[in-house]
Amino acid sequence: MKKILIVGGGAMGSAFSIPCLENNNKVIITEPHNKVFIKDLASKKKFHSSLKVNLPKKLKFRNYSKNIFREKFDLIVIALSLAGIDFIGKELKDLKIKAPLLVLTKGLKYDKKKEKILTISGLLKNNYNVANVSVLKGPCLAKELARKNKTSVVVANKDVKIAKWIGKQISTRYYLTEFSKDVTGVEICSAIKNIYAMIIGSGQNFNTASDLFQKSVNEMKFLIKYFKGDESTILGLAGIGDLYVSAVGGRNSKMGDFLGKGFTFSAAKKKFMPKDTVEGEQLAREIAPYILKKINKKNIPLMAHLLKTILNNKKI
């Protein structure tokens, strides 16, 4: 039995607790900000309002405090939104935590001062002195994981032995883990697929969407290589695997459909998705200053066009 801390009580963090518990681990979950999730997790039934399921009674909820990191854990899991990564980085800075960290969050950050795109693991290591960071990515919808639908993900660490140790603690008959040394490629893939899922979603028939899918894969391959990742990663779970599930069943693809119908982003968001977070839009605004300035648009015409469409609130 291992002692696991999950920071982030949203859909993914809460769903992830289920396979961890099935491995007979002691799992503690905490939520720093969201009052709805705090109320859900603190209740006796543990009915999660986003997942629409009752979480296992064995899951222990603790109110968030920085002091929680002073306890001894075998694994610390970060399942916050992209906006929460800087918050948790500041909390962890200089604590010299020995337990391995596993980051579920998908996204990239733009360092304006250095004019550099940072992966989440890179941000935590370089800006906040957080060591021993692994990442978990892949085609995983939280609601399906919570219902124990068969799910495959990839755990990445430059030291693959650490990735495999983590996999051993979380794998079940329905939650399967693969492993990679290509942390950069895995993180780049899992982030930019949200933008490309929006592009694919804009195709208004199967023929157009499949054409956009193929062209999106080519652009993703170029970007992985550009950012010094292994371009073969595009063929794995974090690449076309995650792109597929996002293109057929995610919020980014849904938004893309409205864009393809002739709505601007702001109009579609207001009319159809006022309460939904569209990760691709958030990422687009984050990385656009770098992408549009540093990379030749001829190499990534689809992404360049979508970034301008969102930034200028124009029709696609």
Same domain, 175 and 41: yes
| Angle separating helix axes 279-294 and 301-311, nearest 10 degrees | 110
pLDDT for residue 139: 95
Same domain, 206 and 235: yes
Residue 316 lies in a domain: no
Among the candidates 181, 201, 218, a domain finishes at: 181
Same domain, 173 and 205: no
Residue 44 lies in a domain: yes
Quick: pLDDT tens for 12-39: 999 999 999 999 999 999 999 999 999 9
Of 96 and 108, which is predicted with more confidence? 108
Buried b (16+ CB within 10 A) or exposed e, 211-247: ebbebbbebbbbbbebeebbbebbebbbbbbbbebbb
pLDDT for residue 96: 86
Among the candidates 148, 166, 181, a domain finishes at: 181
Same domain, 222 and 76: no
Residue 56 lies in a domain: yes
pLDDT for residue 40: 97
What mean pLDDT comes out for the span 129-151? 95
Same domain, 214 and 150: no
Same domain, 61 and 92: yes
What mean pLDDT comes out for the span 286-293? 96
The count of structural domains within the chain is 2
Same domain, 160 and 46: yes
CATH of the domain at 305: 1.10.1040.10
Question: 71, 4 in Cβ contact below 8 A?
Answer: no
Among the candidates 127, 153, 181, a domain finishes at: 181
Same domain, 124 and 255: no
Quick: pLDDT tens for 219-251: 999 999 999 999 999 999 999 999 999 999 889
Quick: pLDDT tens for 177-215: 999 999 999 999 999 999 999 999 999 999 999 999 999
Same domain, 142 and 261: no
Same domain, 154 and 101: yes
CATH of the domain at 151: 3.40.50.720
Quick: pLDDT tens for 259-288: 999 999 999 999 999 988 899 999 999 999
The pair of structure tokens assigned to 299 is 């190499």
| Angle separating helix axes 251-260 and 265-272, nearest 10 degrees | 120
Residue 216 lies in a domain: yes
State phi, psi for 78 to the nearest 5 degrees: -105, 115
Residue 108 lies in a domain: yes
The whole-chain average pLDDT of the chain stands at 96
* Inter-residue long-range contacts of 158-162, CB under 8 Å, 24+ positions, other chains counted: 158/183, 162/100, 162/132, 162/134
What mean pLDDT comes out for the span 134-144? 95
pLDDT for residue 304: 97
Quick: pLDDT tens for 41-92: 999 999 999 999 999 999 999 999 999 999 999 999 999 988 899 999 999 9
Residues of the domain holding 165: 3-181
The pair of structure tokens assigned to 146 is 């919570």
Same domain, 72 and 151: yes
* Residue 94 binned pLDDT confidence (cut-offs 50, 70, 90): confident
pLDDT for residue 133: 96
Q: How many residues does the chain have?
A: 316
* Residue 117 binned pLDDT confidence (cut-offs 50, 70, 90): very high
pLDDT for residue 250: 84
Same domain, 166 and 278: no
